[in-house]
Amino acid sequence: MRSGSSAILRHMFKVLLPGTFDPPTNGHLNILRRASRLFDAVEVVIAVNPGKSYFFTSEERLAMMSALAQDLSNVTVSTWNGLIVDFADRIGVHVIVRGVRALADFDYEFELSQMNRSLNPRIETIFLPTDQKYSVIRSSAIKDIAGFGGDISGMVPANVAKALHDKLRARAAEPRKTPPP
């Protein structure tokens, strides 16, 4: 290794792992754990977009992700309701880590990384492919499967499965609104 390269390795290297995490999946957890082993510090940022509808509130997603990260001493979890590149600037991070499951994910994530760089040229994106066993797990599919009573235990951590089932039960117990005639 050249001396210039080793100097880079001696500095603390903090990265940003953004996502909606609605809900957090075993695939998300896989990427988080791997990133925590690769980098000195990982800041998970839960994206909050007021124009978007979420199954879980930002507080619920924060609680779930915080619980999942509690055994990872170099991981912190936050929420943010703005551009991810602005959050990165605010905390002094210039590298975003994104998990990819398949080529379709890569296309989307590549375009997003290009947009982020156009917004802030100091931002770099690193892609981590998910482990193969998590390559078909999508948050939207998990919510659908759980809604139909399917087994999601292999797709999400236990605390997330419980939160998902609790929320589905609570929603089912709510009185149905009938549309006006």
41-47: strand order across its sheet: 75-80, 41-47, 14-19, 95-100, 124-129
Marked catalytic residue, from 14, 61, 98, 101: 101
Inter-CA distances, 22 with 122, 123, 141, 142, 163, Å: 28, 25, 11, 10, 11
Query: Which amino acid is residue 73, in one-letter code?
Result: S
Question: Among 52, 169, 176, 177, which one carries the catalytic annotation?
Answer: 52
Identify whether 28 is a catalytic site residue: yes
Check if 11 is active-site: no
Q: Are 40 and 9 in contact (CB under 8 A)?
A: no
Catalytic residues, by residue number, are 28, 52, 101, 139
